[in-house]
A and B are shown apart, each in its own frame.
Chain A
Amino acid sequence: AQSVTQLDSHVSVSEGTPVLLRCNYSSSYSPSLFWYVQHPNKGLQLLLKYTSAATLVKGINGFEAEFKKSETSFHLTKPSAHMSDAAEYFCVVSENYGQNFVFGPGTRLSVLP
């Protein structure tokens, strides 16, 4: 069975500084991996996905993530944080063609002026 660990429940950065949100997964098969973002009182929006193509995945709003099989990691990064990036971020692993999504507990990102 697959599982997801998000190592930080809360990350705080200053505007203009880099963002790193960590995700480690466990999967018996070659997984698909996703990052979603949730702004307050909103649904989840897909940031990016990895589905066994390029290991460095670029997403929306300047975010990217690198799949590292040896480390079972899929960390999310952004070179320069913006105030509008403040939100909850979820790492997701899927084994069964996307129907069996397993969500991590989420990381709340705060961006300080």
Chain B
Amino acid sequence: ETGVTQTPRHLVMGMTNKKSLKCEQHLGHNAMYWYKQSAKKPLELMFVYSLEERVENNSVPSRFSPECPNSSHLFLHLHTLQPEDSALYLCASSQDPVSGNSYNEQFFGPGTRLTVL
């Protein structure tokens, strides 16, 4: 596997379900991100982890819960979602320049298409 992978690619869930999205990066990066992409809206940054610590949480509802167990893996735990949460969820990674590099572009996974019924 290379780059950034996301599983599952498609997910349909009811409002009372609990599910998790998984992201894995194979680039040796130390920062990871969750984005939400809805139709007709710009990409919304949800969470940022740098060196496995959460550094940003952009007023995301608590029904979304991120977890970053190590620098290669990122999860988004979902529970009691609403139909308006249906969207493409994108994961990205980058090399944190605090570590010395200025190589700061983000590399994206293919996304998980989530449908909440």
> A residues touching B (Cβ–Cβ < 8 Å)?
32, 34, 36, 41-46, 49, 51, 90, 94, 97-101, 103-106
5 sample A-B contacts, Cβ–Cβ < 8 Å, listed by A number: A44-B108, A46-B105, A101-B106, A103-B42, A104-B42
Given A43-B4, A43-B90, A43-B111, A98 and B42 touching (CB < 8 A)?
no
CA distance A50 to B94 in the complex (A): 16
**Does B27 sit at the interface, judged by CB under 8 A?**
no
Q: Which of chain B's residues have a CB closer than 8 A to the CB of A98?
A: 94, 97, 104-106
A-B CB pair tally, cutoff 8 Å: 55
CB distance from A88 to the nearest CB of B (A): 10
Q: Which of chain B's residues have a CB closer than 8 A to the CB of A43?
A: 4, 6, 90, 108-111
CA distance A42 to B50 in the complex (A): 25
CA distance A97 to B94 in the complex (A): 10
Which residue of B50, B90, B109, B111 is within 8 Å of A99 (Cβ)?
B50
